[in-house]
Amino acid sequence: MKMLDTKFRYVPSAHTNVVATWKRFGFRPTTEAERRARQARLQAEELASPDAAAASVARRASASKVARLKLAVAE
């Protein structure tokens, strides 16, 4: 819809209902029960596999061997 269209209605940002806008496009907020269930599941997975926490940290074996590039300046 174009701004010059007669059907266009400007709504100032202070009066915009963000929740209604997201719901209009299909967003459904997470319920408290869903959030707690997800957190419990993630905690159970961390306890079951102690290496999971360390897996999120990437190791860089080549960090100490950083290649230095020499740039030649054209005169």
pLDDT, one tens digit per residue, over 35-68 is 999 999 999 988 887 665 555 555 565 555 555 6
Cα separation, 51 vs 57, in Å, equals 10
Cα separation, 1 vs 10, in Å, equals 12
Structure tokens of 53?
A: 């926490």
Residue 60: what pLDDT? Answer: 60
Residue range 22-38: average pLDDT? 92
Q: Is residue 34 predicted with pLDDT exceeding 90?
A: yes
Q: Is residue 22 predicted with pLDDT exceeding 80?
A: yes
Q: Is residue 1 predicted with pLDDT exceeding 70?
A: yes
Cα separation, 20 vs 16, in Å, equals 9
Q: Give residue 26's region: left, alpha or beta (phi > 0; psi -120 to 50).
A: left
